[in-house]
Structure 1
Amino acid sequence: MTVRSAWHPPTGQTREDTRLAVGLGMASAGPLLTRAGCVFGGLQLTGTAATGMQARLSPGQVWIAGTSTGSQGGYPVTVDSDTLLTVADGHASLPRVDALVVRVYDNDYDGSGKYEAALELLQGTPAGSPTAPAVPKNAELLYEIAVPAGASAAKGITWASAITDRRRYTAALGGIVPAAGGAPHNGAYVGQYRDAGGRLERWDGAQWTKFIPNSVLVHTLDWGGTTTTSYVEVLPIDTLTSLAATFTAPPSRWVSLTFGAYTAADGDATAYISFRLRLQSGTEVLAPSDDRAAILAGAGRASISTCFPVGNLTPGAVYTVTAAYRSSVAGTRVHFDNRFIRVDPVA
């Protein structure tokens, strides 16, 4: 069959039809595949004692993606009460890593003779550097448990350090899904969003990138000066390096540049600090300009800074902004200390 509908024909709706229909409301992982994962907040695993071989899994729900065939659909699974789990004794001399999974058995696809969901503790292979067992088809990994050599009821597992949370999460279609410690989920489509540690990320077709890139701040306490009337990026008096900040342009195409210094000028000179903007390739985008400068006019000392918006950038492109300096009077020194550049992406 190439076209299906659910709760529509008077008879003949199959379980596969129903699963595919329910999956329409779930976050997508492909044309017919829904994103597997837990409902946030449930299925917490804790040891029943500080050391021992038993742990308790709290109630919760998980969506298992059927991966035996492309049209299998997904399975909503509920653990409706606390469940006590007992880990098998450890190897006499080698550690191992076990995996706790929620697994769906469906005889139509796996020939198991069963139609049920189960919590399973999969035993790993004891080894000097053990790894967790592979997750079978139609299952979702919840936790990995480090089982030390010789573990038993008399010498149990130290639960505070033994559990590695591998739960990953799902959401309704179009929802923002929390990133978690389980097997990574690639995005299903360009423009999909997720929450990664409180930061919004967007799938660009190849990787997850921060929706609003990080702000960038560079700073130096080096004092330097110049007597030239043309903008220079390296202060020829007392310094050897430039002050530069590299950033990634956000989707809005705009950033706010803030820059400044503790500044002094000899005689009647005016001190200017501006910036040069380049693409990562080295192509100049903006040259230093008095119209984009913080200025100290006249003798004395002062902290000066300015903020300048820069737009029409290419989203995702990498740019470098470099501080540039000049004096208004040839041969008269201007000084710059405590110099900084800050780049703030604009949402």
Structure 2
Amino acid sequence: MPVRSAWLINRTETESGQSRADTRLAPVGTMSPNGALTSLGGVLPGSQTGEHLMSGLYVFGESAGMRATVAPGRAVIQGQGPAGAYPVVLTDYTSLLLEDGDASNPRIDLVVLRVHDAQFDGGDRTEAALEIVKGEAAATPEPPQMPPASMPLARITVPAGASAGTDGIDWDTDVYDLRTPTVAAGGIQPESWNREVPGGYPGQYRDTVATLQRWDGTRWADYPRQVGGIAPQGALAAGEYTGQYRDEAGALQRWDGTVWRPAVPSTAWAYNNDGGYCTSTAWVEAVEDTKGPTVTATFTVPVTGAILVTVGFMGNNGVEGQWCRMGVNIRKDGVLVLGADEVRSASAGSKTLTSVSDTFRVTGLKAGEVYTAVSAYCSSATSNRGWFDNRYIRVDPLV
């Protein structure tokens, strides 16, 4: 079997042991620490065209039957404790024959790359080898235990009754890739087929194709999540520290410790172009004889706590010499914070149809909180129908 390992057997007079070719082929410099004396095992990434993450040690079948093929490749296998890590290389395509399936139940076999080292495992073999670890047949089979000093390459489901004479293994559906990549210390770890492999030390990085991540000692955190970084769309449901920013559908948001708020609040705008009238001498939030709803603009208060409110309408009065006004009630969670007032209103004072508006400043609001500006109307007399059309409210943040 063309499986070789560096640092396993010394060269002897009988020409066995590690050769110069073994040293050249085996990945002797690929060690990513995950403990004081241990290294992260895995397959070296890379493919001939650079199109795929890794092509080495891929397990596949070329035709129906029970024979699997393992592609050439290089790997690192962590041995038992103080044995250290073994650089291993498979130099040629290699076939492995699986046993026929159980008559009644399926089973799960593992294809593993394993190192036998009599100096440490007490056995009688000192070599690297490809092996099939046979599972137990059952109605709901489980994978067998991994042997020591080994690395899984694939999980193969062997159907009940499978054999070369019954079409054997369905290589498109019955094989699950178990390879994980490994790189040298300081290198960026590639993705692991969406399997969670913990980092070996804080400050280690990995590439998930979608983003760069950093191991913080307990988990992989997207690199943009680090202090000062802007988290990309969909990366964070909740912020990780107060003052963190994220991109949300093109808008920048800031985490206030509880919820995401717009980092730069935008202008709020609401309008209704259906006319109505008011005869109330007290402020009311709706006009009569209109199809549209009350005009309500919802806004988020900027860090200054200050806003500019503009109200306007096109209107007139039923009685000459009377007036009608439009203002706003500012509410938070339905509670009135600032009521409408004549000094903060747009006013029409004749029977002639006129467009009027007014802009005023409001301060002392709670930064980051959501408020509503609700239209309010009044008339100079109950006998006067003040007409309001093309009503609007605009709220601009003062930053």
Whether these two folds match at TM > 0.5 is yes
Query: Which amino acid is the alignment partner of residue 193 of structure 1?
Result: Y
Does residue 275 (structure 1) correspond to residue 266 (structure 2)? The answer is: no
Offset of residue 290 of structure 1? 4.0
Change (3 A) 1:216 1:249: farther
Offset of residue 32 of structure 1? 1.4
- Assess if the C-alpha contact under 8 Å between 1:187 and 1:205 holds in 2: yes
Match runs of 1:247-258 below 5 Å:
247-249=238-240, 253-255=244-246, 256-257=252-253
- Equivalent in 123, 127, 146 of residue 135 of structure 1: 146
Query: Which amino acid is the alignment partner of residue 88 of structure 1?
Result: E
Query: Which amino acid is the alignment partner of residue 133 of structure 1?
Result: P
| Structure 2 residue runs without a partner (length 5+) | 1-17, 46-53, 226-230, 247-251, 254-261, 274-294, 315-366, 379-390, 395-399
- Equivalent in 163, 166, 173 of residue 152 of structure 1: 163
Aligned to 2:269: 263
Q: TM-score, normalised by structure 1?
A: 0.63
- Structure 1, 207-216 or 29-38: larger mean CA deviation: 207-216
Q: Deviations over 1:32-75 (max 9, x none)?
A: 111110011211122121x2211211100110011x22x32110
Larger RCO (alpha carbons 8 Å, 6+ apart): 1
Change (3 A) 1:216 1:78: closer
Aligned to 2:41: 36
Match runs of 1:1-347 below 5 Å:
26-40=31-45, 41=54, 42-49=56-63, 51-66=64-79, 68-69=80-81, 71-155=82-166, 156-181=168-193, 184-213=196-225, 215-216=232-233, 246-249=237-240, 253-255=244-246, 256-257=252-253, 263-265=269-271, 273-275=298-300, 289-290=305-306, 298=312, 324-327=370-373
Give the match's secondary structure for 1:201.
Answer: strand
| Structure 1 residue runs without a partner (length 5+) | 1-14, 218-244, 277-285, 301-320, 337-347
How many angstroms apart in 1 are the aligned matches of 2:34 and 2:28?
11
How many angstroms apart in 1 are the aligned matches of 2:305 and 2:299?
6
How many angstroms apart in 1 are the aligned matches of 2:205 and 2:310?
46
- Assess if the C-alpha contact under 8 Å between 1:38 and 1:170 holds in 2: yes
How many angstroms apart in 1 are the aligned matches of 2:155 and 2:125?
26
Q: Deviations over 1:267-308 (max 9, x none)?
A: 9xx9865437xxxxxxxxx868346x9x877569xxxxxxxx
The percentage of counterpart residues that share the same residue type is 32
Number of paired residues? 256
How many angstroms apart in 1 are the aligned matches of 2:164 and 2:297?
74
Offset of residue 116 of structure 1? 0.3
- Assess if the C-alpha contact under 8 Å between 2:117 and 2:127 holds in 1: yes
Offset of residue 92 of structure 1? 0.2
- Assess if the C-alpha contact under 8 Å between 2:268 and 2:297 holds in 1: no
Q: Deviations over 1:67-123 (max 9, x none)?
A: x22x32110000001111211100001000000000000011111122100000110
How many angstroms apart in 2 are the aligned matches of 1:152 and 1:25?
39
Compute the RMSD of aligned alpha carbons: 3.9
Change (3 A) 1:137 1:326: same
How many angstroms apart in 1 are the aligned matches of 2:108 and 2:296?
65
Offset of residue 203 of structure 1? 1.6
Could you say which structure has the higher strand fraction?
A: 1
Change (3 A) 1:273 1:323: farther
Give the match's secondary structure for 1:52.
Answer: coil
Q: TM-score, normalised by structure 2?
A: 0.55
How many angstroms apart in 1 are the aligned matches of 2:215 and 2:161?
45
Change (3 A) 1:212 1:104: same
- Assess if the C-alpha contact under 8 Å between 2:114 and 2:130 holds in 1: yes
* Higher gyration radius (CA): 2
Give the match's secondary structure for 1:160.
Answer: coil
Aligned to 1:221: none
Offset of residue 26 of structure 1? 1.7
How many angstroms apart in 1 are the aligned matches of 2:44 and 2:299?
51
